Amino acid sequence: MDSARQGRAGRDVGCNLCSALDANVCQSPNVETPPPARTPLVRQSFQAIPGRRIVCRGQDLHDTLPIICSGWAAVIVMLSDGSRQITSFLLPGDMISTTLLFESKPNCQIEAITDVDVRFFNRTDLNALLHKNPELLDTFFKAWVEEKSRSDQLIVDLGRRTADERIARLILGLAERLSKREMARGGPTEFEFPLRQHHIADATGLTPVHVSKVLSEFRRNRLINISERSITILDPVGFDRVANMR
């Protein structure tokens, strides 16, 4: 089964960029690591969530910092007329939001795209640990800077770029993040791609109909190929040109 392969793939990788692993507070990481010198006391719970399910709403985030251990998820802001905006895709090792290190009730919800494993770290314990070992801050600063950078990029894309550019840049951005996690498939231009077109639409501020038309155009020009929840960049140079037209 396709989902079984995805599941295993998700289990085996992704931790290498995880802040919790970096900070040595994860109790059972998926990758091999040297045994922790001293076991840090950060309470945590683990949850497996099937695809398309809501992981949590902004109001539910009581006192934990959740981190994705495997699978893909999306941070979504809902508007009263039913339209949605995805502000961020979450890959293995990503915190739902770095602001959750402190208190913060974001007005959003997290949806699982694929089956997802999530680990919830106790915020109070994390903060106590942080105040005791300020050098741990650097781990979270890195995630913070990365989050901010992607967020600014998205603002520019939505404000000043065409549909073609937005979609190409979304795909390339995800490809780069997957590469860093060593989650490429086969060659360096083939990746797991579980997004539905409506996910792309919600992330790029477009309609699903128009996303379909743009992707068809990409295929017609032999830039990319999408099938079997997988994407191949056939013409990296040409596709990069589409993504960086200005």
Partner DNA sequence: CGGTGTCTTGAATACCATCAAGTCTTGTGG
Partner DNA sequence: CCACAAGACTTGATGGTATTCAAGACACCG
User: Is residue 207 part of the contact set for DNA (CB under 7 A)?
Assistant: yes
Do 211 and 200 meet the contact criterion of CB atoms below 8 Å apart?
yes
User: Which residue type, as a one-letter code, is found at position 46?
Assistant: F
Work out the end-to-end distance of the chain between its first and last CA atoms, rounded to an integer number of angstroms: 42
Helix ranges (H only) for 161-223 are 163-180, 197-204, 208-220
Q: Indicate the residue among 119 and 166 with the shorter CB distance to a second copy.
A: 166
Tell whether residue 7 is a contact of DNA (CB under 7 A): no
Residues in 34-93 at the binding interface with DNA, rule: CB under 7 A: 52
Q: Are 106 and 61 in contact (CB under 8 A)?
A: yes
- Strand pairing of 116-122 and 64-70? antiparallel
Under the rule (CB under 8 A), what is the footprint of a second copy? 77, 79-81, 83-85, 87, 97-99, 101-102, 104, 106, 108, 130-131, 134-135, 137-138, 141, 144-145, 147-149, 151-152, 154-156, 158-160, 204-205, 245-246
> With respect to a second copy, which residue has the nearer C-beta, 166 or 177?
166
Closest approach of DNA to the CB of residue 32, in Å: 33
Please tell me whether residue 240 binds DNA under the rule CB under 7 A.
no
Amino acid identity of residue 21, one-letter, is: L
Kind and range of the H or E run holding 131: helix 123-132
Residue 185: contacted member of a second copy, DNA, none (CB under 5 to 8 Å, by partner type): none
State the number of binding residues for DNA (CB under 7 A): 17
Q: Count of CB atoms within 10 A of residue 25's CB?
A: 23
Q: Which is nearer to DNA, 207 or 232 (CB)?
A: 207
The CB-of-82 to DNA minimum distance in angstroms stands at: 11
Site for DNA in 141-170 (CB under 7 A): 162-164
Q: Which is nearer to DNA, 62 or 213 (CB)?
A: 213
DSSP state of 136: G
CA–CA dist 11, 17 (Å, integer) = 14
What is the Cα–Cα distance from 71 to 94, expressed in whole angstroms? Answer: 11
Q: Give the residues lining the site for DNA (CB under 7 A).
A: 52, 162-164, 196-198, 205-210, 212-213, 215-216
